[in-house]
Chain A
Amino acid sequence: MDLSSAKMIGAGLACIALVGAGIGIGNVFSALINSVARNPAAQGQVQPFAFLGFALAEATGLFGLAIAFLILFVF
Chain B
Amino acid sequence: MAIEIRPLEQFTIERLIPFHIGGVDISYTNAAFLMTAAVVLITALILLGTRKHALIPGRWQSLAEMSYEFVADMVETNVGHGGREFFPFVFTLFMFILFANFLGLIPYSYTVTSQIIVTFALAAVVFIGVTIVGIVKHGFHFLRLFVPQGVPAVLLLLLVPIELLSYCIRPFTLSIRLFANMLAGHTMLAIFGGFAASIGLLGIFPLGINILLVALEVLVAALQAYVFAILTCLYLSDAINLH
- By a beta-carbon cutoff of 8 Å, the part of chain A in contact with chain B is 51-52, 54-56, 58-59, 62-63, 65-66, 69, 73
Contact = CB atoms under 8 A, between A and B. Distances in A.
Interface in B149-189: 173, 176-177, 179-181, 183-184, 187
Given A52-B230, A69-B187, A62 B180 contact: yes
A62 B184 contact: yes
Contacts of B115: none
A55 B180 contact: no
Contacts of B187: 69
B227 interface: yes
A23 B176 CA distance: 21
A58 B180 CA distance: 10
Interface of B: 8, 173, 176-177, 179-181, 183-184, 187, 220, 223-224, 226-227, 230
Contacts of A56: 177, 227
A54 B184 CA distance: 16
A74 to B, nearest CB: 10
Given A63-B176, A73-B8, A55 B183 contact: no
A14 B224 CA distance: 23
Nearest to A18: B184
Given A62-B177, A63-B176, A66-B176, A55 B184 contact: no
Q: Closest 4 CB pairs between A and B?
A: A62-B180, A59-B177, A66-B180, A55-B227
A54 B180 CA distance: 15
Contacts of A66: 176, 179-180, 183-184
A73 B11 CA distance: 12
